[in-house]
Chains A and B, each alone.
Chain A
Amino acid sequence: MRRNWAITALLLGPAALLAALFFVYPIFGVLKLSVHDGTSYTLAPLQQLYQSRLAVVVLQRTFVLALSVTALCLLVGYPAAYFMAGLKPRTRAFVTYLILLPFWISILIRTYTWVVLLGREGLVNKALLALGLVERPIQILYTGLAVHIGMVQVLLPIVILTCLASMLDIEKDLVRAARTLGASPAKAFWKVFFPLSASGAATGGIICFILSLGFYVTPALLGGRSSAIIANLIDVQVRQTLNWGFAAVLATALFAATLVSLGLFWLATRRRPEFAGLGASR
């Protein structure tokens, strides 16, 4: 037992130390800043959050955006993963490589690329004009649509890979057994394959959702006035209004909302056997 403990400490120690120094400690700093103005404790920033219609609207907008981006990612990512699960291992390895390729390019550059593609004189508008589908360039850049496109592109690989991982764990014989017992291909998929792959999809979804909540660059560069989400509002408080207390409260609200989302996810899945692999109680 003692030895085990030492090994655990050795294995997790560096990561825990890093996390404590550069994650937990600063988070406590932010938490403190939200109730302490440098000289004494205060509830003023919290009151401001409570009274600010802006904060409520932007928080709401953040969650709606995260939900719709997650839904889109699952809608596109799940079938793609299903397709990949059916490939021969070597082909699959190649396709996986293609999906990981965007990770080599910084998110900033990928976002700027969308600026070039979606602009009024960009490739998309030029193509639409040339095909006669529109008479004058349409506004895609600096709209919610552009933000969705940019975010889905960044988050899709994560969703595809988590879906794929759970699909590859599924015993193929189970689907075959369903077929031999008379189920149609669709029924075999919905009754056998889909429930077994749901945990992977849900994991991918929740990761995607939580990452979406914290997005900053994409809405800032591709979005317009009404695309700003909570991180952009925090940025405004830090850099423009110098209201760091309010920024800290906003950050804390986002942090709390994320924890609540995770908690709800855990509650919703803990009694379901197909999520056992996630570490929830059996």
Chain B
Amino acid sequence: MKLTRRAFNLGMAATAMGAAVARPASAEAVTIVVNGSGGSLAEAIKKFFEDPFTEATGIKVRATAPVSLPKLKAMVESGNVEWDLTELTGDDVVTAEENGWLEKLDYSIIDPKGELPAIAKEPSAIVRASYSTVLAFRTDRFPEGKQPKSWADFWDVENFPGPRSLQNDPKANLEFALLADGVPLDKLYPLDVDRAFKKLDEIKEHIPVWWTNGAQHVQLLVDGEVNMTSCWNGRITPLKNENKPVDITFNGGALMLSYLGIPKGAKHPKEAMEFIRFRMDPKASAEFVKLVPYPGFVPGMMDYLDPAFAATLPTAPDNAAVQYRFDSAWWAENLAELTTRWNEWMLL
């Protein structure tokens, strides 16, 4: 008994000492933790923004993944905030702002000259990128002239046979179902949820697998596991550059915004905001977009891009015209209920 208690006390003492040593030695070696979506995207961010930022300011950047609203909630509520900056989806921002999980942004630091368009600026989040969830398909399974061009084609299993995939998430899928059912782009919201689920019933059995992350839909398409899938446009560009037989259509795509925000109680909010400003550099942003075609609203970036390339971006006028603007506010309001319904529909 005595022995165990002594050992226990010793152990506790050692733990306390360990904790003391682990604390940052001085303020000059600040490391900010930036949470993102990982993968090839994280590599590009490191190359174009994080490493140059460390070089310019001495502030180190540690990248983590994946983007997760529940994790943000857990951090803020437990008071143990690991991230200094995190990526957020549009509806994440709405929910996080409502619940007070984000710090207010100081735009006098981020955008001192006031050049950013209003669409990019929320009180506690800033648009980092725009991207599209679109229809991707295998060009070897659907040769020229017989390629799916719309969500109606995606639903047409007679003329466009083979297994398909969609994301295991109600977001955007309900819109795709309604588009397939003939609802026009500008009449989607508020969504007719019952009609969407009814349409989804038709395609349910033709979908062997529902993807859950960006790497997975790439794998499904490249391995030939499915003939077509919904996907994030930026993940397909590198595949096309490697001459993989894949292509996308922007028709009926969901144009979405991705944000950056600082968790409430973050340890280095000021440094995080300096990093945001650094990411608004037009030249570096242009280089980044060439690799990962997710353009934000960085002023002056388009001046550094080849017009032919700019036309392939999700925000290019021709592409934007055939897509719908994903309504984050509508989704934030209905998400809890629809996620429950979606899971019942999915798992039963």
Name A's B-contacting residues (CB within 8 A): 5-6, 9-10, 13, 17, 53-54, 57-58, 119-121, 139, 141-143, 224-226, 228, 233, 236, 238-242
Q: Is the CB–CB distance between B224 and A242 below 8 Å?
A: no
Contact status A228-B347, CB under 8 Å: yes
Judge whether B348 is part of the interface by a CB distance below 8 angstroms. Answer: yes
Per the bound structure, the CA–CA distance linking A242 and B224 in Å amounts to 34
In contact, B339 and A121 (Cβ under 8 angstroms): no
With A13-B4, A139-B163 known as contacts, the answer to whether A241 contacts B347 (CB < 8 A) is no
A242 to B336, CA, bound (A): 8
Closest chain B CB from A106 CB (angstroms): 18
The reply to whether A119 and B225 contact each other, CB–CB distance below 8 Å, is yes
Checking B3, B163, B207, B346 against A10 with a beta-carbon cut-off of 8 angstroms, the contacting residue is B3
Nearest-neighbour CB distance to chain B for A64, whole angstroms, equals 14
A9 engages B4 (CB within 8 Å): yes
Sampled A-B contacts (10; CB under 8 Å): A6-B3, A120-B224, A139-B163, A139-B208, A141-B209, A142-B209, A225-B204, A236-B343, A240-B339, A241-B339
Query: Top 4 nearest A-B pairs by Cβ distance?
Result: A142-B208, A142-B209, A121-B224, A13-B4
Task: Please report whether the interface of chain A is mostly helix, strand, loop or mixed according to DSSP.
Answer: helix
Q: A6-B1, A139-B163, A242-B70 are in contact. Are A225 and B340 (CB under 8 A)?
A: no
B8–A17 touching, CB < 8 Å: yes
Query: Nearest residue in A to B68 (C-beta to C-beta)?
Result: A239
Assess the B223–A119 pair: CB atoms within 8 A: yes
Q: In the bound complex, do residue B163 and residue A120 qualify as a contact, i.e. CB atoms below 8 Å apart?
A: yes
What is the distance, in angstroms, from A32's C-beta to the closest C-beta of chain B? 15
A119 to B70, CA, bound (A): 33
Question: Residues of B at under 8 Å CB distance from A?
Answer: 1, 3-4, 7-8, 68-70, 73, 163, 169, 204, 207-210, 223-225, 336, 339-340, 343-344, 346-348
Partner of A53, one of B1, B163, B339, B348: B348
Q: Which residues of A contact B209 (CB under 8 A)?
A: 141-142, 224
In the complex, A113→B115 CA distance in Å?
50
Q: Which residues of B contact A238 (CB under 8 A)?
A: 70
Are B8 and A239 within 8 A (Cβ)?
Answer: no
CA distance A241 to B343 in the complex (A): 10
Nearest-neighbor residue (CB-CB) of B208 within chain A: A142
Q: Which residues of B contact A10 (CB under 8 A)?
A: 3-4
Residues of A within 8 Å of B169, CB to CB, are 240
Do the beta carbons of B223 and A225 come within 8 Å of each other? no
CB-based contact A241/B208 at 8 Å? no
Whether the pair A241, B340 counts as a contact (CB closer than 8 A) is: yes
Q: Across the interface, which residues of A come within 8 angstroms of B210, CB to CB? A: 225
**Least Cβ distance of B303 to chain A in Å?**
41
Q: How far is the CA of A240 from the CA of B208 in the complex (A)?
A: 21
Query: Given A6-B1, A9-B1 in contact, is the A242-B347 Cβ separation under 8 Å?
Result: no
Return the contact of A141 from the options B207, B225, B343 (Cβ within 8 A). B225
A10 to B68, alpha carbons, bound, how many Å?
43
Query: Within the assembled complex, what's the spacing in Å between the Cα atoms of A155 and B77?
Result: 38
Point out the residues of chain A lying under 8 angstroms from B73, CB to CB: 242
Residue in B3, B4, B347 whose CB lies within 8 Å of A226? B347
- Chain B contacts of A9 at CB under 8 A? 1, 3-4
Cβ–Cβ < 8 Å partners of A17 in chain B: 8
Q: Which residues of A contact B344 (CB under 8 A)?
A: 53-54
Nearest to A225 among chain B residues (CB) is B346
How long is the Cα–Cα vector from A139 to B206 in the complex, in angstroms? 11
A217 shortest CB reach to chain B, Å: 13
Quick check: B336 and A241 within 8 Å, CB to CB?
A: yes
Knowing that A143-B208, A225-B207 touch, tell me 8 more A-B residue pairs with CB under 8 angstroms: A53-B344, A121-B224, A233-B347, A238-B70, A240-B339, A240-B343, A241-B339, A241-B340
Most chain A C-beta atoms within 10 Å of own C-beta, residue among B68, B73, B209, B344: B209
Q: A224 near B70 (CB under 8 angstroms)?
A: no
Interchain CA distance A54-B339 in the complex, whole Å: 13
A268-B220 Cα distance, complex, nearest whole Å: 47
Q: What distance in Å separates the Cβ of A61 from its nearest Cβ neighbour in chain B? A: 9
CB distance from A22 to the nearest CB of B (A): 14
Q: Which residues of A contact B163 (CB under 8 A)?
A: 120, 139
